[in-house]
A and B are shown apart, each in its own frame.
Chain A
Amino acid sequence: MVRRLPIIGIVEDDLIYQFMLSRVIKRNNLAKRVITFSDGEKAIQYLTDNKATNENIPDVIFLDINMPIMDGWQFIEEYAILKTEIKKKIAIFMLSFSVNPIDIERAREISEISEHIIKPITLEEVKRIINNYETFL
């Protein structure tokens, strides 16, 4: 049985990190497609423009917390409003360097966030998440 590969979204202002994560996913053939955004606002704009087109909506989003213009928390707020109009469910994984318990608790309380991952993320973790993303939905 051939597994359908997911569409992956990466919302990350650190372009090197964005590049590396996207490269790891592509090189390991984990995704059908990788879409990258350098801040939350661009990602929300994309989701809004494509909300009616399921095949453009990512299955998994890796979301950085610390970003200019619109950070990860603000993205989640906007997404919570937008998601009723999107037919597809998205598993969102929050990425940050923050080991601050306030951030960790905050992420746990938000139902839209599937998991909060402390950077740097390993290849094993990326594989675990992408191969099992449906269990997070």
Chain B
Amino acid sequence: MNNSIDYQELYNNTPTGYFCSLPDGTITDSNKRFSSLTRFDLEEVIGKKKFTDFLSVGGKIYFETVYLQALKLNGNLEEINFDLIKKDGTSLPVLINSVEVKDNEGRHLFTQSVVFDISQRKKYELELLIAKRKANDLSDELINANKELRRSSELILKQKLQLEEFNKHLENKNRQLSSFAHIASHNLRAPVSNLILLKDVYKESTDLEDKNMLFSKIEIVINLLNETLNELIESLKIQGNKDITHDPIIFDSVFDKTLAMLDSQILDSNAIITSDFSKAPNTEYPKLYMESIMLNLLSNSIRYRSPDRIPSIHFWTEINTNEIKLIAKDNGLGIDLKKHGHRLFGLSNTFHRHPDSKGVGLYMTKTQIEAIGGSITVESEVDKGTTFKIILKKNI
């Protein structure tokens, strides 16, 4: 017997619990491993306990309604999970495999079952579950962080756009200021220094007639200075007036009004004046500005007409995807843009020897157009004519 396997030993100590039960559930035999898993003595189990005695109420119900039925149907069952209640009241997770043993006539004699302790596996499962929950939590946190980031990025983008717009506004203001500084330095310094010169000479002069002549010149300078100051104040008002109200404009009626205002000049010039606003018959624009723009453009075209041909002036509108253009074309004297282009829209810049050319109109026109967010450009050829193109404003 020394070399043969001790089956009784193996039976009792194999790392698997085993028991045998009658059809009514009474345990008729069990190995030591089973009783030690449940912390009972072998004597307390064999012949005294049913398997259901080791189950909770829920376990019992599952055992009777599912386990027994399935076993009867299949003859065996594998890896069914139960929690056994140990002697000390704590529970032990196990898997059970069972097989029915029958006699030759198919009668159920007893059931043999093996019990595997799966508390380690359950622990791992629990750890996995916790890890999974943590991973889920982390993932939720990441999703939230991501959402937060996206929100911030949207905010930053919005602020960037606002900054860009603000910057554009500042650049525009800067340009206006620099142009204003230039105007102030030239258009105000010249008359003021003339006044000082005249005053000094006036004081030194002893001849009454000479004094009168000098004073008449002082008057001329004062009037000019006053006019220049008024124009500057007017332009500052326009530049500062960002929220000026927009009126409904019908180009035809503003143009008719302009024609009426320039009636005598038009008659004198024999100009042929035509218009076609059918492409964009109306818009929204400050009415005063539109009237002033049209008046300036039309009076310029008449004033700088060529003496060699019948003046022909045409106004029309065009519409693009997001802008309305107002265009004025004449066949007048034209301007050498290479020589004068950079000063064309400056204050008191005139390019023609003409008695009533003050050079204020185009500066004002440009100021008004830019205050509304538009732009003005010019094409011209000397002795051919001039075309002014005005983009009234974008995004209408």
A15 CA to B191 CA, complexed, in Å: 11
A120 touches B353 (CB 8 A): no
One of A17-25, A104-112, A127-135 at the interface:
A17-25
A120 touches B197 (CB 8 A): yes
A16 touches B198 (CB 8 A): yes
27 pairs, CB–CB < 8 Å, chain A vs chain B: A14-B190, A16-B194, A16-B198, A16-B217, A17-B190, A17-B193, A17-B194, A17-B197, A19-B217, A20-B197, A24-B201, A38-B353, A66-B186, A68-B350, A68-B351, A68-B353, A69-B351, A69-B353, A70-B339, A71-B339, A97-B185, A97-B186, A97-B193, A119-B190, A119-B193, A120-B196, A120-B197
- B352 within 8 A of partner (CB): yes
B196 neighbours in A (Cβ, 8 Å): 120
A113 → B minimal CB distance (Å): 19
B349 touches A16 (CB 8 A): no
A97 CA to B196 CA, complexed, in Å: 15
Count contacts on A: residues with CB < 8 A to the other chain: 18
Residue of A nearest to B195 (CB): A16
B194 neighbours in A (Cβ, 8 Å): 14, 16-17, 20
A68 touches B352 (CB 8 A): yes
Sorted from nearest, which 9 A-B pairs have the closest CB atoms? A120-B193, A16-B194, A68-B350, A20-B197, A97-B189, A68-B351, A17-B194, A16-B221, A97-B186
B180 → A minimal CB distance (Å): 15
B351 touches A23 (CB 8 A): no
- B109 within 8 A of partner (CB): no
Residue of A nearest to B350 (CB): A68
B residues with a Cβ closer than 8 A to A are: 185-186, 189-191, 193-194, 196-198, 201, 217, 220-221, 339, 349-353
A97 CA to B189 CA, complexed, in Å: 8
B349 neighbours in A (Cβ, 8 Å): 68
Residue of A nearest to B354 (CB): A68
Interface of A is mostly: loop
Taking a contact as CB atoms closer than 8 A, the residue among B190, B201, B339, B352 that contacts A97 in the complex is: B190
Interface of B is mostly: helix
A132 CA to B239 CA, complexed, in Å: 49
Question: Hey, what's the 0/1 contact readout for A55-72 against B, CB within 8 Å counting as 1?
Answer: 000000000001011110
Question: Hey, what's the 0/1 contact readout for A68-90 against B, CB within 8 Å counting as 1?
Answer: 11110010000000000000000
A29 → B minimal CB distance (Å): 16
Residue of A nearest to B191 (CB): A16
A66 CA to B350 CA, complexed, in Å: 11
Given contacts A14-B190, A68-B349, A68-B351, 7 further A-B contacts (CB under 8 A): A16-B194, A16-B217, A16-B220, A19-B217, A66-B186, A70-B339, A97-B189
B260 → A minimal CB distance (Å): 31
Question: Hey, what's the 0/1 contact readout for A1-44 against B, CB within 8 Å counting as 1?
Answer: 00000000000001011011001100000000000001100000
A20 CA to B353 CA, complexed, in Å: 22
B191 neighbours in A (Cβ, 8 Å): 16
A24 CA to B205 CA, complexed, in Å: 12
A67 CA to B339 CA, complexed, in Å: 11
A70 → B minimal CB distance (Å): 8
A56 → B minimal CB distance (Å): 23
A66 neighbours in B (Cβ, 8 Å): 186
A17 CA to B186 CA, complexed, in Å: 13
B220 neighbours in A (Cβ, 8 Å): 16
A38 neighbours in B (Cβ, 8 Å): 353
B189 neighbours in A (Cβ, 8 Å): 97, 119
B325 → A minimal CB distance (Å): 29
A17 neighbours in B (Cβ, 8 Å): 190, 193-194, 197
B339 touches A20 (CB 8 A): no
A97 CA to B190 CA, complexed, in Å: 8
A26 → B minimal CB distance (Å): 12
Residue of B nearest to A42 (CB): B353
A70 CA to B260 CA, complexed, in Å: 35
B186 neighbours in A (Cβ, 8 Å): 66, 97
Residue of A nearest to B351 (CB): A68
B190 touches A69 (CB 8 A): no
A20 CA to B349 CA, complexed, in Å: 22
Residue of A nearest to B197 (CB): A20
B350 neighbours in A (Cβ, 8 Å): 68
A69 touches B197 (CB 8 A): no
A71 CA to B351 CA, complexed, in Å: 10
With A16-B221, A97-B185, A119-B193: A74-B198 Cβ-Cβ less than 8 Å: no
B79 → A minimal CB distance (Å): 94
Taking a contact as CB atoms closer than 8 A, the residue among A20, A71, A119 that contacts B198 in the complex is: A20
B338 → A minimal CB distance (Å): 10
B348 → A minimal CB distance (Å): 9
B221 neighbours in A (Cβ, 8 Å): 16
